[in-house]
Structure 1
């Protein structure tokens, strides 16, 4: 089969299925994975698709900036499992940072009953932790975003300089091996980028559907993520690639 014929069929399958997996296409066309990767590169250069880890998606695939209420309903059980694993990393008297993600909010349910300082830019995290006598809870303050129920902007970023954060717990819209971690919301991306250098460990909490995907605004490279906690069905190739660059990967049951 000529490359042009294969390209046409790849685009037909992309339109029908909404995504392409490199290994599956290699098997279907009886060619090597490398051949398919080169095909996808050509099609990306033509603007026909966007390559992601393990395959490709349509160029118009939306990365919606859902509200916090909407995000809380997505993959709830996976988030709870990931949050349980994340809570096990926390040690007494640490300063931890929780971002405005729905997964970090879920983590508040599982925080250990030990003295902790919690810093957050999420209004709902502050509310969730109110009344817990063993916790000291600090809000960054800043410009309040109604949709994400969080604080962002220059004043929120400036407040970070006061803290020596032991562990940053965050999530995002997508995690691509080459480009890194990305958000649909530029203000959230800018804020998280400022938290990273203030943190001893950057712990990324993400269900497996986010791995190998990209949104519009990048705030961290793959090497800046010290620990990934995801669910057990994560792509083994993605996991192995992260481990190769020194990232600890924890698979939640």
Structure 2
């Protein structure tokens, strides 16, 4: 077997198993340890792997978090459906916190013009809701994160501590066994405080966020009351939600036990 063919097969194995040892290469391809090491050196030079003691793993892949405007331009139909379901849970008289995520903005856009109070650190959410005269808007003042269009800092946290609300709607970069994660710590600290001030914590996340872990963890799964998503999650993920007493709603219908 030529080296090029073997390298391709090693990469296929890594994609399926995440890691490979020198001994496995020797066994799978009937080659010596020296040949196996040369293969790994070649793959490392091509930046296809990260060598470890006795083998190799795939390099980490970090998705770029686009700025808010770019993310708005790519708001998917799934996010709109999730936003519509979330908006249906806001009733007259409710006091609600909305965070600064694009999925939560999809909720704001589809809210009824009803007598309720919305507290937010998002200048976009405030602008969207300003066209609905019955809604009372409390915009949290603080330092503006210009790229992602949210307000943060000690003044936001201090003001939030004064509010006690019925519901909070939170967006995430990832939700997994590692909890709720986001790309920016300053955003995460605000979300954490929002969660503390609400009777009911509702997370909005499309299927691409499930099982994913971002940079900064701002809450544990047990801090959530309800997750709204667009597709039925895998059985393992549903079991993870059950263990942490998280109710599940999928777009257009409520998911029951299977």
Same fold (TM over 0.5): yes
Q: After the TM superposition, which residues 152-231 of structure 1 pair with which residues of structure 2 at under 5 Å, given as runs? A: 152-177=152-177, 179-231=178-230
Q: After the TM superposition, which residues 1-253 of structure 1 pair with which residues of structure 2 at under 5 Å, given as runs? A: 12-13=11-12, 58-74=58-74, 76-177=76-177, 179-253=178-252
Aligned partner of 1:4 in structure 2 is: none
Aligned partner of 2:46 in structure 1 is: none
The alpha carbon displacement at 1:60 in A equals 2.2
The alpha carbon displacement at 1:163 in A equals 1.1
**What is the SS of the residue equivalent to 2:195?**
helix
How many Å separate the matches in 1 of 2:249 and 2:93? 23
How many Å separate the matches in 1 of 2:224 and 2:55? 30
Deviations 1:35-60 (A, max 9, x none): xxxxxxxx9999965xxxxxxxx542
How many Å separate the matches in 2 of 1:149 and 1:232? 28
Does the CA-based 8 Å contact 2:161-2:193 persist in structure 1? no
Does the CA-based 8 Å contact 2:120-2:139 persist in structure 1? yes
**What is the SS of the residue equivalent to 2:86?**
helix
How many Å separate the matches in 1 of 2:137 and 2:55? 47
Residues 117 and 233 of structure 1, relative CA distance in 2, 3 Å threshold:
same
Residues 226 and 46 of structure 1, relative CA distance in 2, 3 Å threshold:
farther
How many Å separate the matches in 2 of 1:213 and 1:249? 17
Deviations 1:48-94 (A, max 9, x none): 65xxxxxxxx5421142321112223451000110111112112111
Residues 215 and 111 of structure 1, relative CA distance in 2, 3 Å threshold:
same
Residues 10 and 233 of structure 1, relative CA distance in 2, 3 Å threshold:
farther
**What is the SS of the residue equivalent to 2:90?**
coil
Does the CA-based 8 Å contact 2:116-2:136 persist in structure 1? yes
Residues 94 and 143 of structure 1, relative CA distance in 2, 3 Å threshold:
same
Gaps of 5+ in 2: 1-6, 20-50, 253-258
Aligned partner of 2:33 in structure 1 is: none
Aligned length: 215
Does the CA-based 8 Å contact 1:63-1:184 persist in structure 2? no
Gaps of 5+ in 1: 1-7, 21-42, 50-57
Q: Find the structure with the greater CA-based Rg.
A: 2
Residues 111 and 48 of structure 1, relative CA distance in 2, 3 Å threshold:
farther
**What is the SS of the residue equivalent to 1:219?**
strand
Residues 82 and 67 of structure 1, relative CA distance in 2, 3 Å threshold:
same
Residues 74 and 239 of structure 1, relative CA distance in 2, 3 Å threshold:
farther
Structure 1 runs (4+) deviating above 4 angstroms are 8-11, 14-20, 43-49
**What is the SS of the residue equivalent to 2:228?**
strand
Return the TM-score normalized by structure 2. 0.75
